[in-house]
Structure 1
Protein backbone atom coordinates (compact mmCIF):
# COMPACT_ATOMS: atom_id res chain seq x y z
CA UNK A 1 0.00 0.00 0.00
CA UNK A 2 1.41 3.40 -0.99
CA UNK A 3 1.58 6.34 1.39
CA UNK A 4 -1.09 8.02 -0.76
CA UNK A 5 -3.43 5.04 -0.26
CA UNK A 6 -2.73 5.02 3.49
CA UNK A 7 -3.58 8.71 3.73
CA UNK A 8 -6.75 8.27 1.62
CA UNK A 9 -7.81 5.28 3.75
CA UNK A 10 -7.32 7.24 6.95
CA UNK A 11 -9.29 10.24 5.65
CA UNK A 12 -12.06 8.00 4.32
CA UNK A 13 -12.40 6.31 7.71
CA UNK A 14 -12.58 9.72 9.43
CA UNK A 15 -15.19 11.01 6.96
CA UNK A 16 -17.33 7.88 7.23
CA UNK A 17 -17.21 7.61 11.03
CA UNK A 18 -17.63 11.34 11.64
CA UNK A 19 -18.98 12.87 8.42
CA UNK A 20 -19.08 16.59 7.72
CA UNK A 21 -22.37 18.26 8.73
CA UNK A 22 -25.28 17.17 6.54
CA UNK A 23 -23.25 14.61 4.56
CA UNK A 24 -22.95 10.89 4.09
CA UNK A 25 -19.74 9.56 2.49
CA UNK A 26 -19.65 6.23 0.64
CA UNK A 27 -17.38 4.27 -1.68
CA UNK A 28 -19.21 3.28 -4.88
CA UNK A 29 -16.72 0.41 -5.30
CA UNK A 30 -14.84 -1.18 -2.40
CA UNK A 31 -11.98 -1.86 -4.82
CA UNK A 32 -11.45 1.84 -5.69
CA UNK A 33 -10.42 3.93 -2.69
CA UNK A 34 -9.73 6.89 -5.02
CA UNK A 35 -13.41 7.49 -5.87
CA UNK A 36 -15.86 8.54 -3.16
CA UNK A 37 -19.41 9.78 -3.30
CA UNK A 38 -21.07 12.11 -0.86
CA UNK A 39 -24.69 13.05 -0.41
CA UNK A 40 -25.22 16.53 0.92
CA UNK A 41 -28.46 17.70 2.45
CA UNK A 42 -29.26 21.26 1.39
CA UNK A 43 -28.44 23.42 4.43
CA UNK A 44 -31.49 24.60 6.42
CA UNK A 45 -32.44 28.22 5.84
CA UNK A 46 -31.02 28.26 2.30
CA UNK A 47 -32.68 28.00 -1.11
CA UNK A 48 -31.15 24.49 -1.26
CA UNK A 49 -32.95 23.32 1.88
CA UNK A 50 -34.94 20.14 1.27
CA UNK A 51 -32.65 19.02 -1.54
CA UNK A 52 -30.29 16.07 -1.52
CA UNK A 53 -27.22 16.68 -3.67
CA UNK A 54 -24.75 14.03 -4.82
CA UNK A 55 -21.06 14.81 -5.09
CA UNK A 56 -18.29 12.87 -6.77
CA UNK A 57 -14.86 13.01 -5.12
CA UNK A 58 -11.94 11.67 -7.14
CA UNK A 59 -8.58 11.57 -5.42
CA UNK A 60 -5.63 11.54 -7.85
CA UNK A 61 -2.89 8.88 -7.51
CA UNK A 62 -0.52 11.58 -6.17
CA UNK A 63 -2.96 12.82 -3.50
CA UNK A 64 -2.34 14.77 -1.22
CA UNK A 65 0.16 16.56 -3.44
CA UNK A 66 -2.61 17.21 -5.99
CA UNK A 67 -6.11 18.38 -5.10
CA UNK A 68 -9.11 16.06 -5.35
CA UNK A 69 -11.61 16.62 -8.15
CA UNK A 70 -14.96 17.38 -6.53
CA UNK A 71 -18.07 17.81 -8.69
CA UNK A 72 -21.82 17.94 -8.22
CA UNK A 73 -23.50 15.00 -9.92
CA UNK A 74 -26.88 16.51 -9.05
CA UNK A 75 -27.77 19.60 -11.10
CA UNK A 76 -27.71 22.78 -9.02
CA UNK A 77 -28.34 26.45 -9.81
CA UNK A 78 -25.37 28.22 -8.23
CA UNK A 79 -22.88 30.91 -9.32
CA UNK A 80 -19.89 28.74 -8.32
CA UNK A 81 -21.01 25.48 -10.00
CA UNK A 82 -21.26 24.93 -13.75
CA UNK A 83 -24.88 24.86 -14.86
CA UNK A 84 -24.51 21.58 -16.75
CA UNK A 85 -24.22 17.85 -16.18
CA UNK A 86 -20.49 18.17 -15.33
CA UNK A 87 -21.09 20.12 -12.09
CA UNK A 88 -17.59 21.62 -11.76
CA UNK A 89 -17.10 23.65 -8.59
CA UNK A 90 -15.14 26.88 -8.26
CA UNK A 91 -13.59 26.68 -4.81
CA UNK A 92 -10.42 28.58 -3.98
CA UNK A 93 -8.79 25.82 -1.95
CA UNK A 94 -9.12 23.34 -4.86
CA UNK A 95 -7.24 25.54 -7.33
CA UNK A 96 -3.79 24.02 -8.03
CA UNK A 97 -1.98 27.18 -6.91
CA UNK A 98 -3.83 27.16 -3.56
CA UNK A 99 -3.90 23.42 -2.77
CA UNK A 100 -1.72 22.38 0.18
CA UNK A 101 -0.81 18.73 0.94
CA UNK A 102 -1.91 19.35 4.53
CA UNK A 103 -5.47 20.05 3.31
CA UNK A 104 -8.00 17.32 3.94
CA UNK A 105 -11.05 16.08 2.04
CA UNK A 106 -13.23 16.86 5.06
CA UNK A 107 -12.22 20.53 4.87
CA UNK A 108 -13.04 20.55 1.14
CA UNK A 109 -16.49 19.07 1.80
CA UNK A 110 -17.13 21.59 4.59
CA UNK A 111 -16.16 24.37 2.14
CA UNK A 112 -18.54 22.99 -0.52
CA UNK A 113 -21.40 22.99 2.00
CA UNK A 114 -20.45 26.54 3.03
CA UNK A 115 -20.73 27.61 -0.62
CA UNK A 116 -24.40 26.56 -0.53
CA UNK A 117 -24.91 28.72 2.54
CA UNK A 118 -22.89 31.63 1.19
CA UNK A 119 -22.27 31.68 -2.58
CA UNK A 120 -19.24 33.63 -3.82
CA UNK A 121 -20.55 35.65 -6.79
CA UNK A 122 -17.22 37.51 -7.06
CA UNK A 123 -15.41 34.32 -8.22
CA UNK A 124 -18.08 32.65 -10.37
CA UNK A 125 -18.03 29.80 -12.84
CA UNK A 126 -21.39 31.02 -14.11
CA UNK A 127 -21.18 34.83 -14.56
CA UNK A 128 -24.85 35.11 -15.61
CA UNK A 129 -26.01 33.35 -12.43
CA UNK A 130 -23.59 35.44 -10.31
CA UNK A 131 -24.99 38.61 -11.86
CA UNK A 132 -28.53 37.47 -11.12
CA UNK A 133 -27.51 36.61 -7.52
CA UNK A 134 -26.08 40.12 -7.04
CA UNK A 135 -28.76 42.10 -8.90
CA UNK A 136 -31.98 40.09 -8.71
CA UNK A 137 -31.78 37.88 -5.64
CA UNK A 138 -35.50 37.00 -5.71
CA UNK A 139 -35.25 35.64 -9.25
CA UNK A 140 -32.07 33.72 -8.35
CA UNK A 141 -33.78 32.17 -5.31
CA UNK A 142 -36.86 31.24 -7.35
CA UNK A 143 -34.75 29.49 -10.02
CA UNK A 144 -32.50 27.79 -7.45
CA UNK A 145 -35.58 26.42 -5.62
CA UNK A 146 -37.01 25.15 -8.91
CA UNK A 147 -33.73 23.25 -9.54
CA UNK A 148 -33.99 21.72 -6.06
CA UNK A 149 -37.54 20.59 -6.85
CA UNK A 150 -36.61 19.28 -10.29
CA UNK A 151 -33.23 17.66 -9.63
CA UNK A 152 -32.55 17.26 -5.90
CA UNK A 153 -35.70 15.76 -4.45
CA UNK A 154 -35.85 12.13 -3.50
CA UNK A 155 -38.73 10.35 -5.22
CA UNK A 156 -41.58 9.70 -2.82
CA UNK A 157 -42.33 6.08 -2.10
CA UNK A 158 -45.88 4.95 -2.88
Structure 2
Protein backbone atom coordinates (compact mmCIF):
# COMPACT_ATOMS: atom_id res chain seq x y z
CA UNK A 1 0.00 0.00 0.00
CA UNK A 2 1.63 3.23 -1.08
CA UNK A 3 1.12 6.27 1.07
CA UNK A 4 1.03 9.90 0.03
CA UNK A 5 4.38 11.67 0.52
CA UNK A 6 2.83 13.96 3.09
CA UNK A 7 1.91 11.08 5.42
CA UNK A 8 5.39 9.59 5.04
CA UNK A 9 6.97 12.97 5.88
CA UNK A 10 4.72 13.52 8.90
CA UNK A 11 5.39 10.00 10.19
CA UNK A 12 9.13 10.50 9.79
CA UNK A 13 8.96 13.82 11.67
CA UNK A 14 6.97 12.22 14.51
CA UNK A 15 9.68 9.57 14.81
CA UNK A 16 12.73 11.86 14.45
CA UNK A 17 11.42 14.97 16.21
CA UNK A 18 8.71 13.89 18.66
CA UNK A 19 6.66 16.53 20.44
CA UNK A 20 7.48 16.68 24.18
CA UNK A 21 5.38 14.19 26.11
CA UNK A 22 3.86 12.63 23.00
CA UNK A 23 4.69 9.46 21.08
CA UNK A 24 2.89 8.32 17.94
CA UNK A 25 3.92 5.05 16.30
CA UNK A 26 2.29 3.71 13.14
CA UNK A 27 1.12 0.09 13.08
CA UNK A 28 3.23 -2.20 10.91
CA UNK A 29 0.18 -3.71 9.23
CA UNK A 30 -1.66 -0.40 8.72
CA UNK A 31 0.54 2.70 8.56
CA UNK A 32 -2.52 4.99 8.63
CA UNK A 33 -3.24 3.76 12.17
CA UNK A 34 -1.11 5.13 15.04
CA UNK A 35 -0.70 4.09 18.66
CA UNK A 36 -0.36 7.32 20.59
CA UNK A 37 0.71 8.07 24.15
CA UNK A 38 0.18 11.53 25.62
CA UNK A 39 1.63 12.46 29.00
CA UNK A 40 -0.67 14.45 31.23
CA UNK A 41 0.63 18.03 31.41
CA UNK A 42 2.30 19.23 34.62
CA UNK A 43 0.07 21.42 36.73
CA UNK A 44 -3.10 19.70 35.49
CA UNK A 45 -5.18 17.01 37.23
CA UNK A 46 -3.86 14.68 34.52
CA UNK A 47 -0.18 15.17 35.45
CA UNK A 48 1.69 11.91 35.98
CA UNK A 49 -0.61 10.03 33.63
CA UNK A 50 0.19 8.27 30.38
CA UNK A 51 -2.90 8.35 28.20
CA UNK A 52 -3.22 5.94 25.31
CA UNK A 53 -5.02 7.07 22.20
CA UNK A 54 -5.58 5.80 18.71
CA UNK A 55 -5.23 7.99 15.66
CA UNK A 56 -6.39 6.98 12.20
CA UNK A 57 -5.79 8.87 8.96
CA UNK A 58 -8.79 8.45 6.63
CA UNK A 59 -8.27 8.13 2.87
CA UNK A 60 -9.32 11.80 2.52
CA UNK A 61 -6.50 13.01 4.80
CA UNK A 62 -5.28 15.82 4.71
CA UNK A 63 -8.54 17.18 3.29
CA UNK A 64 -10.37 15.54 6.23
CA UNK A 65 -9.18 15.47 9.85
CA UNK A 66 -7.68 12.39 11.47
CA UNK A 67 -9.90 10.30 13.73
CA UNK A 68 -8.55 10.44 17.28
CA UNK A 69 -9.90 8.70 20.35
CA UNK A 70 -8.77 8.10 23.94
CA UNK A 71 -8.36 4.44 24.86
CA UNK A 72 -7.48 5.28 28.48
CA UNK A 73 -10.45 6.10 30.68
CA UNK A 74 -10.42 9.81 31.59
CA UNK A 75 -12.64 12.22 33.56
CA UNK A 76 -12.74 15.26 31.28
CA UNK A 77 -15.65 17.42 30.04
CA UNK A 78 -14.49 17.28 26.41
CA UNK A 79 -13.88 13.51 26.25
CA UNK A 80 -16.78 11.07 26.52
CA UNK A 81 -16.99 7.51 27.87
CA UNK A 82 -16.12 6.12 24.42
CA UNK A 83 -12.97 8.25 24.28
CA UNK A 84 -14.29 10.59 21.60
CA UNK A 85 -12.83 14.09 21.79
CA UNK A 86 -14.65 17.39 21.37
CA UNK A 87 -12.02 19.58 19.75
CA UNK A 88 -12.77 22.14 17.05
CA UNK A 89 -9.84 21.19 14.81
CA UNK A 90 -11.12 17.59 14.68
CA UNK A 91 -14.44 18.90 13.38
CA UNK A 92 -15.39 22.19 11.70
CA UNK A 93 -12.07 24.02 12.25
CA UNK A 94 -9.96 21.40 10.45
CA UNK A 95 -7.53 22.71 7.86
CA UNK A 96 -5.27 20.70 5.53
CA UNK A 97 -2.45 22.95 6.79
CA UNK A 98 -2.66 21.17 10.16
CA UNK A 99 -0.62 18.04 10.80
CA UNK A 100 -0.76 14.97 13.03
CA UNK A 101 1.72 16.66 15.38
CA UNK A 102 -0.49 19.78 15.66
CA UNK A 103 -3.53 17.63 16.43
CA UNK A 104 -1.71 15.72 19.18
CA UNK A 105 -0.34 18.93 20.73
CA UNK A 106 -3.89 20.32 20.72
CA UNK A 107 -5.19 17.19 22.46
CA UNK A 108 -2.44 17.54 25.07
CA UNK A 109 -3.34 21.24 25.51
CA UNK A 110 -6.98 20.26 26.04
CA UNK A 111 -5.82 18.29 29.09
CA UNK A 112 -4.34 21.50 30.51
CA UNK A 113 -7.45 23.55 29.87
CA UNK A 114 -10.73 21.62 29.77
CA UNK A 115 -13.62 23.56 28.23
CA UNK A 116 -16.86 22.74 30.06
CA UNK A 117 -18.70 25.26 27.83
CA UNK A 118 -18.28 22.94 24.80
CA UNK A 119 -18.75 19.55 26.45
CA UNK A 120 -19.00 16.04 25.11
CA UNK A 121 -19.48 14.55 28.58
CA UNK A 122 -22.27 16.82 29.87
CA UNK A 123 -22.30 15.29 33.36
CA UNK A 124 -18.56 15.91 33.76
CA UNK A 125 -18.93 19.45 32.37
CA UNK A 126 -21.71 20.17 34.86
CA UNK A 127 -19.43 18.92 37.67
CA UNK A 128 -16.54 21.11 36.38
CA UNK A 129 -18.80 24.17 36.32
CA UNK A 130 -20.47 23.60 39.71
CA UNK A 131 -17.54 22.22 41.73
CA UNK A 132 -14.20 22.70 39.98
CA UNK A 133 -12.02 21.45 42.88
CA UNK A 134 -14.21 18.34 43.27
CA UNK A 135 -14.20 17.62 39.54
CA UNK A 136 -10.43 18.08 39.35
CA UNK A 137 -10.01 15.71 42.29
CA UNK A 138 -11.92 13.01 40.37
CA UNK A 139 -9.85 13.73 37.24
CA UNK A 140 -6.69 13.26 39.33
CA UNK A 141 -8.06 10.10 40.95
CA UNK A 142 -8.96 8.58 37.55
CA UNK A 143 -5.52 9.54 36.21
CA UNK A 144 -3.86 7.67 39.10
CA UNK A 145 -6.21 4.70 38.66
CA UNK A 146 -6.29 4.32 34.87
CA UNK A 147 -3.28 6.20 33.46
CA UNK A 148 -0.49 5.65 36.00
CA UNK A 149 2.92 5.39 34.36
User: Which range is displaced more, 100-109 or 71-80?
Assistant: 100-109
Residue in 1 aligned with 2:73?
A: 75
TM-score (norm 1): 0.89
How many pairs align? 149
Whether the aligned pair in 2 keeps the contact of 1:9 and 1:33 (CA below 8 Å) is no
Residue in 1 aligned with 2:85?
A: 89
Measure the CA separation in 2 of the matches of 1:76 and 1:122. Answer: 18
**Alpha carbon RMSD of aligned pairs, Å?**
1.4
Q: 2:105 aligns with which of 93, 98, 110?
A: 110
Which ranges of structure 2 fall in alignment gaps of 5 or more residues?
Answer: none
TM-superposed deviation, 1:105: 0.9
TM-superposed deviation, 1:40: 1.0
Whether the aligned pair in 2 keeps the contact of 1:8 and 1:33 (CA below 8 Å) is no
Measure the CA separation in 1 of the matches of 2:20 and 2:128. Answer: 25
* Superposition map of 1:133-152 within 5 A: 133-152=128-147
Secondary structure of the 1:60 match is coil
Residue in 2 aligned with 1:32?
A: 30
TM-score (norm 2): 0.94
| 4+ residue segments displaced more than 2 Å | none
